[in-house]
A = this chain, B = another copy of it.
Amino acid sequence: MCGRMELMATKARRAPRRTEALSRDVIVQAATEILDAEGEDALTLRALTVRLATGYGAIYHHVADRDDLLTAATDHVIAHIVPDLTAEAGPRPALRGVAVGLFDAIVAHPWAGDQLNRDPLRPALLDIYESISQQLQALGVPQQALSDSAGVLVNYILGVAGQNAANARALANSKMDRSAFLAAVAAQWAQLDPDRYPSVLKARTQLLEHDDREQFLAGIDLILAGIQTVNRAGKDSSAR
Interface of A with B (CB < 8 Å)? 114, 117-121, 126, 129-130, 133-134, 137, 143-144, 146-152, 154-160, 162-163, 165-167, 169-170, 192, 196-200, 202-203, 206-207, 210, 215, 218-219, 221-230
Contacts and interface: CB of A to CB of B under 8 A. Distances in A.
A137 to B, nearest CB: 7
So how many copies of this chain end up in the complex? 2
Nearest to A197: B130
A159 B148 contact: no
Determine chain A's interface SS by DSSP, over half rule: helix
A136 B225 CA distance: 17
Contacts of A119: 166
Contact of A222 (B199, B200, B206, B226): B226
Nearest to A207: B147
A151 B159 CA distance: 10
Contacts of A154: 159
A68 to B, nearest CB: 13
A150 B119 CA distance: 26
Nearest to A166: B120
B200 A129 contact: yes
Which of A156, A197, A230 counts the most chain B CB atoms within 10 A? A156
Contacts of A156: 152, 155-156, 159
30 contacts: A114-B117, A117-B159, A120-B163, A120-B166, A121-B163, A126-B197, A129-B200, A130-B196, A130-B198, A130-B199, A130-B200, A133-B199, A144-B206, A147-B206, A147-B215, A148-B218, A150-B199, A151-B215, A151-B219, A152-B222, A155-B156, A155-B159, A156-B156, A156-B159, A158-B158, A221-B230, A223-B223, A225-B229, A226-B229, A229-B229
